[in-house]
Amino acid sequence: MSPGHGGAELPLQMLLVFGAAKILGEVTERLKIPNIVGQITAGVLLGPSVLALVQPASIRELADLGVMFLLFRVGLEVRPSDLFTVGKTASIVATLGVLVPLLMGYAIYRWSGASNVESLFVGAAMVATSVGITAQVLAGMGLLNALASRIILAAAVIDDILGLIVLAIVSSVAAGGVNVLQLATTAAISIAFTVFVLIAGSRTVGKMLPRLDKRMKGGESEFTIAMILLFALAVFASYAGVAAIIGAFLAGVALAETVSHRVHVLAQGVTELLVPFFLAGIGLALDVHVLKDPKVLGLAALITAAAVVSKLVGCGLGAWPLGFEEAKRIGAGMVPRGEVGMVVAQIGATMGTISQQAYGVVVVMAVMTTVIAPILLNWTFGSIACEPEESPISIE
């Protein structure tokens, strides 16, 4: 590319990813397949293993922003009281949804002849839920306020904390020892941060936002304050030991009962722009060449099946008192691993404790569960689906 066109690189990458994601999303929607599948497929086709037009690193920041805004928008539709009312059930769902996948993943990979530590990392990669995918599907169906949806969202927050503890333990084992005090401290800080924001966040924002809004003279001052809170809580969440997207979700929850409809509309616009980069980014990370090896292909298929079944069974059992239908919906909502599973794989690869084969298996599992989840959600929630509300996140 000539020097005069150097500035075209970023808009070209955005054009390719955004355009392809939206077009393939439209195609799959017309085929009665959730359009999330089409947007992830766009990433696979554009990525290094097929057309090699886009490198994952080139849109990583846009993808990270996409999932942050997605969870923020979901948080705007959820009241803190909604999460507290399902807290007990969500805790059981999250706990079983961590233990069952961890044990199944470890057992299967150990059976394949892998080392103890490598098997632990594969099990750890199967633990955490990528709630962004589930949230987008449920928002598009207008079902964020359904009982199963509220349990899924609350369980995902708890799941993130438990997944962090599991990853810390596995990383410590790989490094040669477990620091119990450090693990306990990290867990306590993570839990305290989450509970504090849920309890005090909405009340504090309700008092402060109107005062700040009156004093600010710039345009869209309420949206400006909302964005500052979003990024601030994302940063604090990272330092507290949980994912930045949980901070973004909690920011939305804190604002849910205070901000005007205008903030919802503006956040919706930003989300519509950025979410395709998040979805396509999942597909970009998949290297289809690893599937040429029959052993890797077989292991990837087995681990993917275990990843789906373990969440359906583990989380479903946690929600069993609510009845079979609700348990089935909650289990399906916890299936996608997305970028969360790949982060665990990257940590293992950086530490030198997992092979390229194991890395490939985990990435395939993460992508495939993300593709399968919307189909399961449409199946399980289909009987209670309704028209989207005025402000839910569109997935068209």
Alpha-carbon gap, residue 273 to 176, rounded angstroms: 44
- Min mean pLDDT across 163-177, 270-284, 353-367 is at 163-177
**389, pLDDT greater than 80:** no
CB 13 within 8 A of CB 54: yes
- The two structure tokens encoding residue 275: 């979410």
**Which pLDDT belongs to residue 390?**
40
- The two structure tokens encoding residue 380: 């399980």
**128, pLDDT greater than 90:** no
- Render pLDDT for 206-259 as a digit per residue (tens, 0 to 9): 888 888 888 887 778 999 999 999 999 999 988 887 778 889 999 999 998 899
Name every residue whose Cβ is closer than 8 Å to that of residue 71 and which is 6 or more positions away in sequence. 131, 132, 135, 245, 246, 248, 249, 252
**Which pLDDT belongs to residue 80?**
84
Q: Which amino acid is at 105?
A: G
Alpha-carbon gap, residue 124 to 101, rounded angstroms: 8
Alpha-carbon gap, residue 367 to 40, rounded angstroms: 8
**Which pLDDT belongs to residue 393?**
41
Alpha-carbon gap, residue 309 to 311, rounded angstroms: 6
- Min mean pLDDT across 180-184, 206-210, 308-312 is at 180-184
H/E run at residue 312: helix 294-318
pLDDT tier for residue 305 given thresholds of 50, 70 and 90:
very high
CB 367 within 8 A of CB 286: yes
- Min mean pLDDT across 194-208, 253-267, 285-299 is at 285-299
Q: Regarding predicted confidence, which is higher, 140 or 284? A: 284
Alpha-carbon gap, residue 81 to 56, rounded angstroms: 39
Average pLDDT, the chain: 86
pLDDT tier for residue 391 given thresholds of 50, 70 and 90:
very low
DSSP 3-state helix, strand, coil percentages of the chain (rounded to 5)?
A: 80, 0, 20
Domains of the chain: 57-384 (1.20.1530.20)
